[in-house]
Structure formats: C-alpha cells, structure tokens
Chain A
C-alpha cells in the first residue's frame, strides 16, 4: 500500500465546474501536508498548504482530517488553466523534510 494514495483520474470537467480531489495517507506520524501542481512535462510546484482548520486561496480550498488521515482539495469555478496533475504531499520531519508524494490526480478542464 502506498503511503499517500490518490485517485489518478482523469477528472474531465467543464469550465466553471466545481471539482474535489481526495487523498489518504497511511503514516499517522506525518506532520504537514500540501498540494503541489504539476503541468504536463513540467516540474511540480507548490499550490497550497493544508491545515486542519482549512485553507482557502481564491478558488482553491484545502482541508485536512487527521482522525481519518484524509486530505482534500476543492477547486471552484474551474478554468482551462487549472488542467494539470495535482499531487498530494505528506511530510515526515526529523533529519530533513522527507516529502512523500501521492501518484497525483489528473484534471482536464474542457470548454
């Protein structure tokens, strides 16, 4: 079982739709969580942090449920430019931050 699991998709949604991605992590010692975005054939880039209290950044909302070891990302009013792969990341600290990436969820926003 992978340490961070995501539905690979693809999620094909029309422009303007609301879409939600989920992610589960197996290591309860994981301390911090993030969403990274990776465009096709490009490098991953940090999208946003994930907190138990929720984190909103414009059209993006991220949420963490430590009890269920579950992370979510909600994108409202999808744009064509949101098409990418979204990577869920858990961090184990101590001796250097070890980022554990999920396999990613692919989003395609269509006209």
Chain B
C-alpha cells in the first residue's frame, strides 16, 4: 500500500492554464506538506497543514493555493501557470508538526510550455 500518493505523476500544460495536484496519505498522520524541487534539485518547503489548518506558508506566489479537505488530503491548485513553475512538486506527511521524519510522495513532474 502506498503511504503517500500523488496524482498526476506527470503534468504537461501551457502557460496561463490552471491545474491541480492531489495528495493523499494513509499513514494517519496529522501534518502534510508541499515542497517544490527545481531544476537545480533544490528542495524547498511551500506549505504545511496540521489537521486541515495552515501552519507554514513560505513566500510563495498567491497563484498557489493549497486546500486540505481533511487531514489525509492536501491538494495544490496553481492558477495562471508560468514557465518558472516547472519543477517536481512533492507532497509529504509527518506524524505531527513536531515530528522530524517526513514521508514523501513520489512527486509530480510539472512542465509548463
């Protein structure tokens, strides 16, 4: 059974479009995260939710809007996609906000053309 799953795995879209990435975890964790890994392989946190509540919100354009319908799901919606949004987006979860080990999903490779 996959612990943290993301869909889609690959996403190719044109500039200006709006797209969503979904994430689900079946670990019973309270906390979920979105990370962006750019072409230089630099992995940076974007958002974190604990029990559906936003607790970390890094400096991210407001075109990115996370949504957590319940603690097992954290989706990422991106409006008006730009070339610079091309990256791999990883979802992760941890037992709670204070727990250090995070389990990552397989990633969604987004290409904006």
Interface residues of A (CB under 8 A from B): 2, 32, 34, 42-46, 49, 85, 87, 91, 93, 95-101, 103-104
Q: Do A97 and B97 contact each other (CB < 8 Å), given the known contacts A43-B107, A44-B104, A46-B102?
A: yes
Question: Min CB distance, A77 to chain B, in Å?
Answer: 26
> A87 near B43 (CB under 8 angstroms)?
yes
> B56 near A95 (CB under 8 angstroms)?
yes
Choice from A34, A42, A43, A104 contacting B100 with Cβ under 8 Å: A34
Interface residues of B (CB under 8 A from A): 31, 40-45, 48, 50, 55-56, 90, 94, 97-102, 104-107
Question: Min CB distance, B87 to chain A, in Å?
Answer: 13
> B101 near A46 (CB under 8 angstroms)?
yes
> B100 near A91 (CB under 8 angstroms)?
yes
Question: Min CB distance, B26 to chain A, in Å?
Answer: 16
Q: Can you name the residue of chain B whose Cβ is closest to the Cβ of A85?
A: B41
Question: Min CB distance, A40 to chain B, in Å?
Answer: 10
Question: Min CB distance, A23 to chain B, in Å?
Answer: 14
